[in-house]
Amino acid sequence: MSEISKKILVIDDEENVRELLKLEFLDLGFEVMTANSAFNGLQVLKDHKMDLVILDIKMPGMDGIEALEKIISTQRGLPVIIHSAYSHYKDNYLTWSATSYVVKSGDLTELTAKAKEILANKED
């Protein structure tokens, strides 16, 4: 990883999930921004250059699938990890053009490993 830390945006309507992920990725040396809705997450992406988005699916208002479509149409090439408690969506994530899909759990090993892998392969 370069001296400039990579920027991650966490979009999740659950405050405890946002805070947990923020602390975890800050400890790993990443810059982290959070958004409590898909709408707010899209606003953050308009105002800030991010290197990775971690996106929940089930959120009030605009869901993660709709947000993903908007992210892909405006920021092609921006990696997005779907992070959802609903494992049955995992079969479809590639059709949505997400980079990866990680089922939510108390163990963040898979999510952090996937994020580090994606960011290590991402060119600035």
| Residue 54 parent element (H or E) | strand 52-55
Q: DSSP character for 5? A: P
* Residue appearing with tokens 């707010």: 40
For the chain, the structural domain boundaries read 7-121
Give the CATH class of 7-121: alpha beta
* Segment 40-60, tens digit of pLDDT: 999 999 999 999 999 999 999
Residue 3 has pLDDT above 60, yes or no: no
The answer, yes or no, to whether residue 2 has pLDDT greater than 50, is no
For residue 19, CA distances in Å to 5, 65, 76 come to: 19, 22, 27
Instruction: Beginning with the edge strand found earlier in the chain, give each strand of the sheet holding 31-35 in spatial order.
Output: 31-35, 7-11, 52-55, 80-84, 100-103
**Averaged pLDDT for residues 96-113:** 87
> pLDDT (tens digit, 9 = 90+) per residue, 4-48?
689 999 999 999 999 999 999 999 999 999 999 999 999 999 999
Q: What is the pTM of this model?
A: 0.91
